C-alpha cells in the first residue's frame, strides 16, 4: 500500500495545482471577456474587432428575445461601409452617407430578422434550390460567374456565398412574403374595397382618369395624372404588361391585381420603336399590404434594444437613429 506522505510532490499536490491553474485561467478569461465587451461597446471598430467579437456573445442589438451578435453587426457594417465608399468613388464629391452607416446596418439586421420571423408566421418557406436559382439569375444578369463574383467583391467586399446568405436570401424571402400577403384575402379586404370604389368612379365617367389618379393613386405617378409614359414588354409587372398590350388605345382595364396591390390602367397611345411595340398608359394604383409596413409593425410589437453606443431604436420611424442630447 502506498504511503501518501512519501508519494512524489506531483502526486500529492497535482490536483491542488490543477485547480488553482484552472481558477486562474477562468479569471483571466473573464477579465479578457469583460475587456472585449467594454472595447466593443466603446465603439471599437478596428479590423481586429470583428475577430474579437466572435470571442464574446455580447449583442449589438436585440429584438424580442433574439440577440444580434456584435460579430454579425461588425461584419455587416464593414460591407455597408465598403458599399458606401464604392458609391462615393463613382462620384466627384463624397456624400455624408458614412455618418449613418451604423444606423443603417443595425436597422437592416433588425428588419432582416423580423422578415424571417414574419415568413415563419405566414408559412412562407425558401429552399436551397430557390436560393441557387435566384443566384443563377444574378449570374446571367451580370454576364457570367467571374463578372458576378468581381461585382460582388467591388460592391461589398464579400464572396458569392456571403452575398447569397446575407443579401440575396433576404431579398428573395421578402419577395415570397410579399406574394403571400397579396394572396391573403383578409389582409387585402380594405385595399380591394378602395380599388373597387376607384374603378366605379372611372366607369361612371363624371371625372377624368387623370383627376381620379391625382386624388386616389398611392404611387408617385398619381401627382402627374398617373402617366407611366411609354414602356416596352417586361418593363412593368407582368399583370400590367398583359393588360396594357391587350387593350386598344382609349380602353380602360378592369381591376388588375399584382403582388403590390390593385391597378386600373388606361392605354393612351401605342407605337413601334426599333421594331419593338411600346405602349403608353395611365395608371391608378391602390396599394395592398406592404412587407415594409408589416416589418415595421412587427418590430414595434417587440422590445428592441440597441447596445452600440450613441444609437437608439426609434419605433416611430422604424429605424435605428443617433441619440440626441436631451434638455433637462
For the chain (328 residues), the mean pLDDT of every run of 10, in chain order, is 48 50 45 45 50 67 90 89 85 59 93 94 91 88 86 92 93 93 90 95 94 94 93 92 94 94 95 90 94 92 91 91 63
CA angle 131, 133, 138 (to 5 degrees): 95
pLDDT of residue 70: 86
Whole-number Å distance between alpha carbons of 145 and 123:
33
Residue 72: all three cell numbers together: 454579425
CB 69 within 8 A of CB 109: no
Q: Does domain 189-288 have CATH number 3.10.50.40?
A: yes
Helix (H, G, I), strand (E, B) or coil at 11: helix
**Range list of β-strands (E), the chain:** 59-63, 66-69, 227-232, 256-258, 261-273, 276-287, 304-306, 311-314, 319-322
Whole-number Å distance between alpha carbons of 27 and 19:
12
pLDDT of residue 22: 52
Burial of 157 (0-12, 13-18, 19+ CB in 10 A): middle
Domain map of the chain by residue range? 4-42, 62-183, 189-288
CA angle 279, 282, 288 (to 5 degrees): 115
Amino acid at each position: 500500500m502506498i504511503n501518501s506522505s512519501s508519494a512524489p510532490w506531483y502526486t500529492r499536490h497535482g490536483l491542488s495545482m490543477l485547480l488553482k491553474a484552472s481558477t486562474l485561467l477562468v479569471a483571466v478569461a473573464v477579465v479578457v471577456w469583460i475587456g472585449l465587451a467594454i472595447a466593443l461597446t466603446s465603439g471599437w471598430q478596428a479590423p481586429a474587432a470583428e475577430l474579437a467579437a466572435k470571442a464574446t456573445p455580447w449583442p449589438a442589438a436585440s429584438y424580442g428575445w433574439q440577440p444580434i451578435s456584435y460579430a454579425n453587426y461588425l461584419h455587416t457594417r464593414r460591407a455597408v461601409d465598403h458599399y458606401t465608399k464604392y458609391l462615393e468613388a463613382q462620384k466627384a464629391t463624397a456624400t455624408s452617407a458614412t455618418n449613418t452607416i451604423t444606423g443603417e446596418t443595425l436597422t437592416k439586421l433588425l428588419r432582416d430578422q423580423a422578415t424571417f420571423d414574419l415568413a415563419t408566421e405566414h408559412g412562407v418557406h425558401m429552399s436551397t434550390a430557390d436560393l441557387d436559382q435566384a443566384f443563377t439569375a444574378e449570374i446571367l444578369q451580370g454576364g457570367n460567374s467571374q463578372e458576378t463574383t468581381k461585382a460582388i467583391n467591388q460592391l461589398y467586399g464579400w464572396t458569392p456565398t456571403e452575398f447569397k446568405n446575407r443579401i440575396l436570401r433576404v431579398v428573395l424571402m421578402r419577395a415570397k412574403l410579399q406574394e403571400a400577403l397579396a394572396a391573403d384575402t383578409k389582409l387585402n379586404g380594405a385595399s380591394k374595397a378602395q380599388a373597387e370604389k376607384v374603378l366605379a368612379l372611372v366607369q361612371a365617367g363624371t371625372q377624368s382618369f387623370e383627376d381620379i389618379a391625382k386624388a386616389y393613386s398611392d404611387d408617385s405617378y398619381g401627382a402627374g395624372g398617373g402617366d407611366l409614359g411609354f414602356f416596352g414588354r417586361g418593363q412593368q409587372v407582368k399583370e400590367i404588361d398583359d393588360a396594357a398590350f391587350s387593350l386598344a388605345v382609349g380602353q380602360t382595364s378592369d381591376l388588375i391585381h399584382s403582388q403590390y396591390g390593385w391597378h386600373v390602367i388606361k392605354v393612351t397611345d401605342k407605337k413601334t420603336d426599333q421594331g419593338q411595340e411600346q405602349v403608353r398608359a395611365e395608371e391608378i394604383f391602390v396599394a395592398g399590404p406592404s412587407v415594409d409596413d408589416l416589418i415595421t409593425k412587427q418590430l414595434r410589437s417587440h422590445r428592441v434594444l440597441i447596445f452600440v453606443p450613441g444609437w437608439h431604436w426609434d419605433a416611430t420611424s422604424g429605424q435605428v437613429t443617433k441619440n440626441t442630447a436631451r434638455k433637462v
